[in-house]
Structure 1
Amino acid sequence: MTRADRPAWALVATSLPMFMVAVDNLVVTNALAVIAEDLNTSQTGLQWVVNGYILPFAGLLLAGAALGDRIGRRRVFVWGIGVFTAASAACALATSAGALMAARVLQGAGAAAILPVSLTLAVAAVGPAKRALAVGVWGGVNGLGIAIGPMAGGMVTQGLDWHWIFWLNVPVGLLALPLALWAVRESTGAARPLDVWGTLLSCGTVVAAVWSIIQSAGEEASPLRTLLGVALTAVLAAAFTHRQRTAAHPLIPLHLYRVRPFMLSNVLAMAMYFGVFGSIFFLAQFLQGPMGYSPLEAGLRTLPWTVAPMVAVPVASALLDRVGGWRLQAAGCLAQALALAWLGLIARPGVSYGPMVVAMVLAGVGMGLVFAANPATVIGSVKEHEHNLASGVNNTIREFGGALGIAVLTLVYVQGGLRSAVLTGAAVVFAGAFAGVAIGRTSARPGSVPAPSASPGARSDRPEPSRLP
């Protein structure tokens, strides 16, 4: 059996580590109370157990994509699996909150090497004819991992111990390493230097933004610290923008800003993940708090939300070329926004679980539509040699949207309660639907996933996506 004979194995090899990475975004959500008691730390400190993973993950994704293009995508992918697996063991062995946070940062760095190249490797393995299927599977696995993270964390915490949340990654990582080496072909992208300053500035901007928001909602909130954080964020963002405009090899080439399907799909992704991360975070707390469920019971009751994408993603992938990625993305955001609004309006003390089920199913369907169509539209709007870069940008924005969602909705929750927080998330996701509609208005044809050129210098038989003048 050769690699060429089994492209499905390559899809499995790229999806398995990416699933681990996605799960670990929110896997600790239902375990935070137990971790706080075990490690004798405050809830404010535990926020960094979550953000310690998400922030380096988001900040280093573009660097992971650039390194993959330069030194080999499979090489970066394999090294990422190794770092992530070792960091998971360190998390499991942590005996203090500081040690756990440090290990989570290392986990995030490993995840940043895995996720951006995984999509490019998966697409390359199956060939152009099955590109939409590969992207759909990748999006579905990624979305499923994010969605079931809180449930898996609650089940493991109640059934075993919170340390096993991280121990379970170790055998998966040890299996994924040889599988990736055997099933995945090595590939590189356009040879371009890594923009180190751009990487540092982008990472710093993300960290400063989330830190300033967390500071404004913490137990010892300080207006001065918040103001300084906002000012630092603005300075770093301005410096990053200047760097990208003047660098010979920027992290995000300037011409990509003029590709409307690419830019609008990323705006939509940020809005979607803003609402999804924040709402899942608060739903887990609501089920265990006012509704009185255990971590395991709360996890099981999120199944209507988490299972729905498994049905929606294959259907959406099959309809992608016929219906158009922009329609699926807009419909997904609209469904998610309606579901969040529904949950926000009914989620109050004394509510029963029954009225929440339909809203959760609707939210899961909306997630599935976006998970299938969003990365396909992003990949389809650029040339083939830019696939890895486009994937890195898309995933960076998605993760940043998730971190921002948790931070902002926590601030709204502190000031206005659960209903205000969830309805704020619904409003942001609803705004994302307009970005999807705008893609359709600027597309050159009904579908929004044009086939990228077969090589850097080749021309596609399909029209180029609409660009700004």
Structure 2
Amino acid sequence: MVLPLTLTLISDAFPPARLGVAAGPVLGGAVTEGLSWQWIFWLNVPVGIAVAVLSALLLRESHGPRPRLDLPGLLLGAAALFALTWAPVRAPETGWADAEVVGAFLAGALLLAAFLAWEARAPYPMLPLAYFRLRGFAAANAVIFLQFVSLIGSLFMITQFFQLGLGYSPFEGGLRLLVWMAMPMLVAPVGGLAAARVGNRPVMLMGMLLQGAGLGWLAAVATAGVDYGTLVGPLVVAGVGIALVFPTTADAVVAAVPPEDSGVAAGTNSALREVGGVFGVAVLAAVFASYGGYASPAAFTDGFRAAMVVAALVPLVGAVAAALAPGRGAVRSSDRAADPESSVSESGWAASGSAGRGSRG
């Protein structure tokens, strides 16, 4: 619930052109080694309490345009995503051809079809299907899904490679990941500024190409016992690419819809991002198991290299989606939203007077 609302509140406070995304490096290695892995969960408690209090005190209220929740759509969508997530999570253990996995995929597909059928006729759909006819919305969501297939899958493998393939402790491995994980913190704001000048499409496209190139480079140089310095270049290149995609997809998906539906856009983007991460871990783990294993550092590295090849190819497919995004001169949703008839026809659900259904500010 929190993830899409953060982008919605930021979008309410700032124009899309000024948005940028930064993510700090993960301290999980230090926590795991110095304390215990359970402390990773406890760290969220004081942060959550502090943010809840500050949110109540400092955030201004805003509302979406729907007069009521789309409960049938919510249930169908949640069930479809559960089934489609269950299948790749179980596949590495039971096998991709196992009846449980195949059945979960089929159930997910049927539930997704039912969700789409309901959304096409619902009076106030949770996700107006007409938004997928907007190139900016469709392209940004495709890009973020494919990016997270590669990103989370490769993160899952690289953290293990540092420990099992190269012999670093969890804390030492976490420190060496900083050259990769710090790139979004350093580069994403720059990417947002660049997109404001040249448009989202070229920055997004460049980001996907760099992510694929960096991970492909990593696959080429990874060997058991490889010197860490050899890995710095690939990690930096991939990290820069990742950082360029974060702000551009966030901006593109929110800018594609009327401002009052920025929460719907952000929620769709978040859902596809998380599902992409699940598929990424499952697919790369399956590739790893087919080409390597945990018997020795050399065996692990063989599987790791094969998985990284797949992780490098996925962003190249995402680059195709990025290339299909609208150019800088395309009309933004904020311009269309000024025209009630245009806003109504493209949102696909508001029969009339949508501006009167919600308030902002």
Length-normalised TM-score, structure 1:
0.67
From 230, 235, 259, the counterpart of 2:110 = 235
**Distance in 1 (alpha carbons) for counterparts of 2:96 and 2:212:** 30
Match of 1:121 in 2: 9
Match of 1:380 in 2: 255
**Distance in 1 (alpha carbons) for counterparts of 2:55 and 2:339:** 29
Match of 2:17 in 1: 132
**Distance in 1 (alpha carbons) for counterparts of 2:198 and 2:170:** 40
Matches within 5 A, 1:53-72: none
1:239-273 Cα offsets, whole Å, 9 max, x none, are 22222222222221122021111101110111111
8 Å CA contact retained: 1:376, 1:449 = no
Q: 1:349 to 1:257 in 2, by over 3 A?
A: same
1:188 equivalenced with 2:63 (yes/no): yes
User: Displacement of 1:319 after TM fit?
Assistant: 1.6
Report the 3-state secondary structure (helix = DSSP H, G, I; strand = E; otherwise coil) of the residue aligned with 1:261: helix
1:421 equivalenced with 2:307 (yes/no): yes
**Distance in 2 (alpha carbons) for counterparts of 1:201 and 1:256:** 19
User: Displacement of 1:339 after TM fit?
Assistant: 0.8
User: Displacement of 1:459 after TM fit?
Assistant: 9.2
Q: Matched residues, percent identical?
A: 36
Matches within 5 A, 1:37-56: none
Match of 1:5 in 2: none
Matches within 5 A, 1:302-381: 302-381=177-256
Q: 5+ residue gaps in structure 2? A: 292-302, 347-361
User: Displacement of 1:388 after TM fit?
Assistant: 1.3
**Distance in 2 (alpha carbons) for counterparts of 1:285 and 1:292:** 10
**Distance in 1 (alpha carbons) for counterparts of 2:330 and 2:272:** 20
**Distance in 1 (alpha carbons) for counterparts of 2:330 and 2:312:** 25
**Distance in 2 (alpha carbons) for counterparts of 1:410 and 1:192:** 44
**Distance in 2 (alpha carbons) for counterparts of 1:368 and 1:319:** 12
8 Å CA contact retained: 2:85, 2:278 = yes
Match of 1:275 in 2: 150
8 Å CA contact retained: 1:377, 1:448 = no
Match of 2:169 in 1: 294
Report the 3-state secondary structure (helix = DSSP H, G, I; strand = E; otherwise coil) of the residue aligned with 1:289: helix
Q: 1:209 to 1:191 in 2, by over 3 A?
A: closer
Match of 1:12 in 2: none
User: Displacement of 1:201 after TM fit?
Assistant: 2.0
Report the 3-state secondary structure (helix = DSSP H, G, I; strand = E; otherwise coil) of the residue aligned with 2:174: helix
8 Å CA contact retained: 1:324, 1:448 = no
Match of 1:26 in 2: none
Match of 2:88 in 1: 213
User: Displacement of 1:210 after TM fit?
Assistant: 2.7
**Distance in 2 (alpha carbons) for counterparts of 1:235 and 1:329:** 33
From 272, 276, 296, the counterpart of 1:397 = 272
User: Displacement of 1:200 after TM fit?
Assistant: 2.0
From 48, 73, 82, the counterpart of 1:198 = 73
From 25, 34, 57, the counterpart of 1:159 = 34
**Distance in 2 (alpha carbons) for counterparts of 1:164 and 1:449:** 48
1:87-123 Cα offsets, whole Å, 9 max, x none, are xxxxxxxxxxxxxxxxxxxxxxxxxx21111112122
User: Displacement of 1:449 after TM fit?
Assistant: 8.0
**Distance in 2 (alpha carbons) for counterparts of 1:436 and 1:315:** 19
User: Displacement of 1:433 after TM fit?
Assistant: 0.7
8 Å CA contact retained: 1:341, 1:422 = yes
Report the 3-state secondary structure (helix = DSSP H, G, I; strand = E; otherwise coil) of the residue aligned with 2:316: helix
8 Å CA contact retained: 2:88, 2:278 = no
Q: 1:226 to 1:459 in 2, by over 3 A?
A: closer
8 Å CA contact retained: 1:321, 1:447 = no
User: Displacement of 1:180 after TM fit?
Assistant: 0.9
**Distance in 2 (alpha carbons) for counterparts of 1:270 and 1:198:** 21
Report the 3-state secondary structure (helix = DSSP H, G, I; strand = E; otherwise coil) of the residue aligned with 2:126: coil
Q: 1:231 to 1:221 in 2, by over 3 A?
A: closer
8 Å CA contact retained: 2:119, 2:125 = yes
8 Å CA contact retained: 1:384, 1:456 = no
Q: 1:238 to 1:357 in 2, by over 3 A?
A: same
8 Å CA contact retained: 1:125, 1:184 = no
1:373-402 Cα offsets, whole Å, 9 max, x none, are 111111111111111111111111111111
**Distance in 1 (alpha carbons) for counterparts of 2:73 and 2:164:** 42
Q: 1:349 to 1:449 in 2, by over 3 A?
A: farther
Indicate the larger mover: 247-256 or 257-266: 247-256
8 Å CA contact retained: 2:145, 2:275 = yes
**Distance in 2 (alpha carbons) for counterparts of 1:333 and 1:395:** 18
Match of 1:452 in 2: 334
1:252 equivalenced with 2:252 (yes/no): no
Q: 5+ residue gaps in structure 1? A: 1-112, 465-469
Report the 3-state secondary structure (helix = DSSP H, G, I; strand = E; otherwise coil) of the residue aligned with 1:435: helix
Report the 3-state secondary structure (helix = DSSP H, G, I; strand = E; otherwise coil) of the residue aligned with 1:292: coil
State how many pairs are aligned: 332
